[in-house]
Amino acid sequence: TSFTYDTAGNTKTVAQTGTGGGHVSYTYNPATPDCGGFEGQRCTAQTKMSAAKTVKTSFKYDDKGNLVKVTPPKPLGETTYTYDELGRTETLTDGRGIKKVFTYD
């Protein structure tokens, strides 16, 4: 496995060699965020499945930098998150619509 990094130290690409090898590339928020949140947070992950097929997963953040949505390639459904006022995960709803509720003492 080999990695490349951007000037901010974020993983830019991951390449795996061998019979099951693949290639994943990432994009990150610039100084003016593209996907909500803050500079340096991951916005996309593109996975090269074969010479002819690349799939993309997108990430969205709220204004506090919390991950609120992950959109994988179809046919998978998106996963959403909500947070309480302290920034703790309150709910997680997966791509099948199954909702987990988190409680804290």
Task: Give the pLDDT confidence of 61-98 residue by residue, as tens digits.
Answer: 999 999 999 999 999 999 999 999 999 999 999 999 99
- Predicted confidence (pLDDT) per residue in 39-50, tens digit: 889 999 998 888
Mean confidence (pLDDT) of the chain = 89
Six-digit token pair at 51?
């010479």
Residue span of the structural domain in which 40 resides: 2-101
State the total domains in the chain.
Answer: 1
More confident residue, 53 or 100: 100
Return the exposure string of 26-45: e unless at least 16 CB atoms fall within 10 Å of the residue's CB, then b.
Answer: bbbbeeebebbbeeebbbeb
Residue 103 near residue 86, CB atoms below 8 Å: no
Mode of pairing for the β-strands spanning 67-71 and 53-61: antiparallel
Are the C-beta atoms of 23 and 48 separated by less than 8 Å?
yes
This prediction's pTM: 0.83
